Amino acid sequence: MFPIVATEELVPRVRLYRIHAPRVARKAAAGQFVILRVDAHGERIPLTIADWDAAEGTVSVVFMEVGTTTTRLARLKPGDVIADLCGPLGNPTEVENFGTVCLMAGGFATATIMPIARAMKAAGNRVIIVVGARNKDLLFWRERLAENSDELIITTDDGSAGRKGVVTEPVKERLERGERIDRVIAIGPSIMMKFSSLTTKPFGVKTIVSMNPIMVDGTGMCGCCRVSVAGQTRFACVDGPEFDAHAIDWDNFMARQRTYIDEEKRSLEICRCPTA
């Protein structure tokens, strides 16, 4: 059992949970994830590690309340326990002094890029962070992002904060001006990562994305998290979760993400039923 130490609603439907998991906290690194199960009857879902404290023995995860498991997870309070938490899983982000690193985050992936930004900054990189959301009410951790970057750019779809537009636009403008960016890391919804890849590819900028496919065991045995990379089948849980964005078959990946939409809707309806 893994006790929940603290919870916080960052923005509507996006929550941070700090969970007591000392062995995971001792080994965690930027870019890795955990797989958790709410209770003995729950499904296993992957969540990226947003932060950790080895001395305290805690790991923090951020999730959006959108499906059955995250809805059930959101009902838990400090002092409640999570049945299973396995990790850290996946390969850590490749961190070295690349020069100028641009981190792009869409939606609640802000939490995912935070430890990466911190690690890149510590390695001596100039760090540019571009964060996008639909509106200002869905933005969080702006102060923390600013502290761990040399430049923070905010974009919103409606222009209510920062500049109006999407995260790819300021990056494209800089590349068109000839500004040097040595590496891009884009994390967020699949469509956002796909268009980030399309934006940087003409300029030959190495671009890394963190893939979030359907996942079951997290050990490479089930094959559910397969991703086509440069024509080869790779498993996000053991070969990733980060891959070269320009080598991914995005159409195949996004089609596979829609495989269980109907089943997920029915499951969520049952979960939200007062008698469930």
Task: Point out the annotated binding site.
Answer: 222, 225, 237
Cα–Cα dist 264/251, whole Å? 21
Binding residues for [2Fe-2S] cluster: 222, 225, 237
8 A C-beta contact, residue 219 and residue 272: no
Contacts (Cβ under 8 Å, ≥6 apart) of 219: 237, 238
Helix (H, G, I), strand (E, B) or coil at 60: strand
Closest to 48 (Cα-Cα) out of 120, 110, 119: 110
227-229-232 Cα angle (round to 5): 90
Give the integer Cα–Cα distance in Å for 119 and 242. Answer: 16
Q: Tell me the C-alpha distance between 14 and 6, whole Å.
A: 14
Q: Give 128's DSSP letter.
A: E
- Residues 6 or more apart from 179 whose CB is under 8 A from it? none
Q: Which residues contact 72 (CB under 8 A, 6 or more apart)?
A: 38, 39, 42, 271
Complete edge-to-edge strand list for the sheet that includes strand 84-89 = 81-82, 2-11, 14-20, 58-64, 45-53, 33-37, 84-89
